Amino acid sequence: MGEEIDYKNFLQNKIIAHTPSGFEVNVNDLNPMLFDWQKIIVRWALYKGTSALFEDCGLGKTPQQLEWAWQIYNKTGKNILILAPLAVSLQTKREGEKFNIPVNVCKSQGDVKAGINITNYERLTAFDPFQFIGIVLDESSILKNFMGKYRNQIIASFLNTPYKLACTATPAPNDYTEIGNTSEFLGVMTRPEMLSMFFINDAGDTGKWRLKGHVKNNLFWEWLSSWAIMMRKPSDIGFEDGAFILPPLEIHEHVIPFRGLRETLFVEPASTLSDRRRARTDCLTEIVSVAAEMINKNGSKWIAWCNLNVESDLLKRTIKESVEVKGSDAPEHKESALLCFANGEIKALVSKPRIAGFGMNFQNCHNMVFVGLSDSYEQFYQAVRRCWRFGQSEKVNAYIITGEKEGNVVENIKRKESDMMAMFNGMVGQMSRLMRDELTQFKKTKTDYYPKIEMKMPRFI
């Protein structure tokens, strides 16, 4: 049958490292307000042309993406578009003012001005992608839903855009779909190509993928580090952490006793999602009462997170000086309320993680209460990180109030958190050396030529 092919070498030869398509800048020419490590990352991203910044919450992705966009505008004279979650646009504009980078908030193509423009994901259809030389996805985890309308629309709209940047917190370590979708958006490799190249599907679960044994240790991470930076703190890429050390986070559980008829000595926890929702509804008045009392007697700023509309309505009516942000609200109200809370003008914010849990900076608040929890650990994590982020000076308290029949929710959350942290550390550990090499030695290989024989021209020239 011929020589046996060494699969690892075969795979290595098939891998096409991400080819840089950008330009080089002097790190000393970048915004002086950036930290040194942020300048290095921006310089790398400009050289790559298309890349992703998977950086944990509070590491300053906004000023990095703004400087990236500003450098491209100055280089080409052509416009940049930033897509961001609702209410993040004005927050980004304010960040731009702090770093002396002008940002134009717009609702349609007619509002576009020369330079950097930002709008909400929901308004993408009002813009002409061909009028922009660069695109930035702020909170690019929106691409996670690979069947979602935004995912397909964004990838198709900016297929031929020369400069692309995707920015989000460190992606879910066991969700390689998000990495594949980002790779496809950037034009590095399509999601199906990535999965077939590096992964194998676990039998019996079509949604679970794991790295092939041949590529687990090096090849996948080498490929990923050729177009993405993944970090949780500056020391991951060889810098001092300095002020980038998180304050303590304490998770407190308050369980409302079951008041119904007990069939056994112990209360049997609800086993299905519908059963848990029914159990939460049965003691909803008590849960909201505990949350409201906790907030009303404390003068600090608070966020009350919930999952159901009935919970949101009750919290709004019970918590003094609170403002509710719900899905049916007009975009203008959502944006205004979230920014007012970020500015300290509102005592208590009532909302759902999927509405206000992405993109916003709420370091002015260090107390939050969860009126029950959903099955999504990502939503819980993102909601907590609105307050528990670099720049927070206080210990952050997250109170989880549940009914007794909902089971030991906090232990489940802590287990998922422990699993996630272990995976995060593994991913960053795999990429740490590779990222340092990428950031410090990304220039094209050049071979010097020293002629030793004098060349003689033909007589007819």
Q: What is the pLDDT of residues 118-175, one digit of tens each?
A: 999 989 999 999 999 999 999 887 776 545 777 889 999 999 999 999 998 866 655 6
Task: Tell me what the pLDDT averaged over the chain comes to.
Answer: 83
With respect to CATH, is domain 7-243 assigned 3.40.50.300? yes
pLDDT attached to residue 416: 76
Element (H, E) at 457: none
pTM: 0.81
Torsion sign (Cα): 238, 244, 247, 253: negative
Amino acid at 351: S
Q: What percent of the chain has pLDDT over 90?
A: 45
> Rounded distance, CA 207 to CA 274, Å?
23
**What confidence score (pLDDT) does residue 307 get?**
87
Write down the architecture of domain 249-415 according to CATH.
3-Layer(aba) Sandwich (3.40)
Q: Report pLDDT digits (tens) over 47-89.
A: 999 999 999 888 999 999 999 999 999 999 999 999 998 888 9
Give the mean model confidence (pLDDT) for residues 440-444.
57
Whole-angstrom Cα distance, residue 69 to residue 30? 12
Q: Say what the pLDDT of residue 169 is.
A: 81
Torsion, Cα 148 151 152 153, to 10 degrees, reads 110
- Place 382 in a pLDDT band, splitting at 50, 70 and 90: confident
User: Which of the two residues, 364 and 277, has the higher pLDDT score?
Assistant: 364
Highest mean pLDDT among 340-354, 402-416, 424-438: 340-354
Q: Give residue 445's pLDDT.
A: 37
- Does residue 447 carry a pLDDT above 50? no
User: What pLDDT is recorded for position 204?
Assistant: 53
pLDDT value, residue 214: 54
In this predicted structure, which of 101-115, 156-170, 429-443 has the lowest mean pLDDT?
429-443
pLDDT digits (tens, 9 = 90+) for 207-253: 567 777 655 557 888 888 889 998 888 998 889 998 888 899 998 98
Determine the Cα–Cα distance for residues 174 and 291; give it in Å rounded to an integer: 33
Closest to 207 in 3D by CA, of 231, 178, 164 = 178
**Ranges for all domains in the chain classified under CATH 3.40.50.300:** 7-243, 249-415
Q: What pLDDT is stored for residue 456 in this prediction?
A: 60
SS (H, E, C) 289-332: HHHHHHHHCCCCCEEEECCCHHHHHHHHHHCCCEEECCCCCCHH
Residue 436, pLDDT > 90, answer no
Query: Is the pLDDT assigned to residue 25 strictly greater than 80?
Result: yes
> Encoding tokens for residue 66?
């703004």
Residue 450: what pLDDT? Answer: 47
For residues 38-47, average pLDDT: 96
